[in-house]
Amino acid sequence: MSVRISRQHWDGLLAELDLARRQRHLVTYRALLERLQLPTPAMQTLTAALEHLAALDARAEQPLRSSLVISQGASRLPRTGFFECVERLGRFSGPSDGIAAASWHASEVAPGRQPSASHRVL
C-alpha cells in the first residue's frame, strides 16, 4: 500500500521534530498524530513519512530525526518497525526490544547528536 503525505503535513512533521530537538524532548507517535491531524490512515502515513525521513537522513549521514519519536509504553523507545527500518538502512543491528536497541537509541537522541535547524530536507 502506497501512502502519501501532503507538503503541509510534511512541513509540520519537520517543524515538530525540530521543536523536540531544540527542547531536548522526545515526542510520542500519538502526540504527533494529534498535532499533525493526518488524514486516515494516519498511523500508516506517519510511519511512512518517518521511514522516508530516516532514509533521507541516513543518505546525508546525519542523525536520524525520526529517532525522536517514541512509543507511549514503558520502554520509551520507537516501535519495532523503526528498528527494522534503521536496520535496513545499515544504522542498527540487533533485537528491537533489547538493551542494544535502548543503548543505540539513547546515543542517537543524545544532545548534540541531532542535526541543527539548518539541516532541512525538502
pLDDT higher than 70, residue 67:
yes
pTM summary value: 0.87
At 18, give phi and psi (nearest 5°): -65, -40
Peptide bond into 95 cis (omega under 30): no
How many angstroms separate the Cα of 6 from the Cα of each of 36, 41, 46, 95?
Answer: 11, 13, 11, 33
- 81 pLDDT band, cuts 50/70/90, is very high
Question: What integer pLDDT is reported at residue 114 of this predicted model?
Answer: 63
- Crossing angle of the two packed helices 80-88 and 42-59, in degrees rounded to 10: 30
